[in-house]
Structure 1
Amino acid sequence: MKDILGKALLDYFQGNHTEDIITETNISEEDEMPLSYLFRDFKEMPALEQQALRLSKGSTLDVGCGAGNHSLYLQNQGLDVLAIDISEGAIEVAKQRGVERTKHIELLNLNDETFDTILLIMNGTGIFSQLSNVSKYLQHLRTLLNDGGQILIDTSDIKYMFDEGEDGGIWVPSDRYYGELTFTMSYKKEKGEPFDWLYLDANLFETAATSNGFDFEIIAHGEHFDYLARLTIAANSPLQ
């Protein structure tokens, strides 16, 4: 697959920034993603991200690390962090910025370490791709979690993007869950392959989490239908 994100991050980091990434979904028009935002420091991060980083403890896995913003902050706080991403360019940028432990790998292929904190930020449920994959990812995340560990993950309820009926209900697709989107990313006249990206409303996420042996807690709500959740292994889970 074309590494659109990695190419853009490398260009920005190496001083070759002339334009930003363009994103588009199956339910929205083209929008610019400023590359500068993908290199933000702690004080520029949204409150939910800041809170997730403050709650991180012990050995930490940063899933979908991008340019390494979260990993760098946690390293500076003295935490042992492994940063992973499916974008080879992103991993190269993270390395060059000083992230000490990186791995170019898909989450489901990571099997040789366990962690006290697993961090999935900037709509962390997006990597689940589709609703049908949620249990598979949650079960794999469990195998990477130390006893007493936590998963910190944020997402949004995107029902606000759909039209509301006279009865107060919303018009959502009949053939799929409304939080299942298809994204396309373009950069410098190059268009990447479409990819699936999942947003989960809190009720559905809690149901999925509890059915997979987790306790589910909403830590905080953001300003735009987003929220930060913490998943921990339930005391009565058969996985304990």
Structure 2
Amino acid sequence: MPDDAFGQMVLDFHRDALAEQPAYRRDDDTLTEAHLSGYFEQPSAWHPIERRLLSEVTGSILDAGCGVGRHTLALQKRGHSVLAVDRSPGAVAVARKRGVTHLVVGDLRQPPADGCDTVVALGKQLGLGSSLTDLRRTLTELATVTQSGGCLVADMDTLDRVGPETGAAHAVQPGVAYRTFRVEYDSLTGPWTDLLLVTPSGFRTAVGETPWTVDALVGTETDGSAYGVRLSLPGQ
């Protein structure tokens, strides 16, 4: 089984005891340094897309792919009931140390919640996978644990603008690609992870084959590769 390299590196970073500089390895064998401070950012340092999307959430929340809890902690402070889930036991341990109260180790594609009002899938969590089929499957699974009339907020990456990551991506079809990477730290190697890159128009098309409806695409006019999405689950 792959190691929890991500979990160990954030645990060591949190206690100021990194054994070495962690790295991300792409499947073309390129290594880049892992800059860990971003996982612990306070709301004032968040990307504007994150701040806007989180300002709109309501009710009980599933934080799908919570990492070390940076979004969960902010939502708890606002009085929301939040269930945080992440596949990394080490990241969950750090989130607990930082004050996240309700945590589960698990896969966001097999969500442990039941009847939440809002799903938060920031940090590109919704894009885990290598195809639009993977994206639709994730969205359909998350719909099963969301109340009718509920919403989902997430951020995605696009191929509209060329950069070092998009240049190394594997093309699937026009406007759709994925990149593959893993975390390496202190002799540990994490699982290979695919992350989908899809244009906003391609994302909108994919959502049309799920129970969700696109309410808004956010940040598509910026120069960066990221954009935000707000989806709703029609009431019955």
Do 2:157 and 2:197's aligned partners in 1 also have CA atoms closer than 8 Å?
Answer: yes
Bigger proportion of residues as helix:
1
Q: 1:44 to 1:56 in 2, by over 3 A?
A: same
- Which runs of 5 or more structure 1 residues have no equivalent in the other structure? 164-169
Which residue matches 2:179?
181
Do 2:171 and 2:178's aligned partners in 1 also have CA atoms closer than 8 Å?
Answer: no
Structure 1 position 230 matched with structure 2 position 218: no
Q: 1:172 to 1:44 in 2, by over 3 A?
A: closer
Which has the greater radius of gyration?
Answer: 1
User: C-alpha distance in 1, partners of 2:169/2:195?
Assistant: 17
User: C-alpha distance in 1, partners of 2:111/2:204?
Assistant: 25
Do 1:63 and 1:83's aligned partners in 2 also have CA atoms closer than 8 Å?
Answer: yes
User: C-alpha distance in 2, partners of 1:98/1:63?
Assistant: 17
Shift in Å, 1:173: 5.3
Give the TM-score taking structure 2 as reference length. 0.87
CA RMSD of aligned residues (A): 2.5
User: C-alpha distance in 1, partners of 2:227/2:172?
Assistant: 26
Q: 1:171 to 1:95 in 2, by over 3 A?
A: closer
Which residue matches 1:166?
none
Which residue matches 1:220?
219
Structure 1 position 39 matched with structure 2 position 40: yes
Which residue matches 1:158?
159
Identity among equivalent positions (%) equals 27
> Greater shift after overlay, 142-151 or 80-89?
142-151
What is the SS of the residue equivalent to 1:38? Answer: helix
Q: 1:152 to 1:174 in 2, by over 3 A?
A: closer
Q: 1:71 to 1:223 in 2, by over 3 A?
A: farther
Do 2:150 and 2:234's aligned partners in 1 also have CA atoms closer than 8 Å?
Answer: no
Give the TM-score taking structure 1 as reference length. 0.86
Query: Aligned residues, how many?
Result: 230
Shift in Å, 1:35: 1.4
Per-residue displacement from partner, 1:33-71 (whole Å, max 9, x unpaired)? 211221111111111111122112110111111110000
- Which runs of 5 or more structure 2 residues have no equivalent in the other structure? none
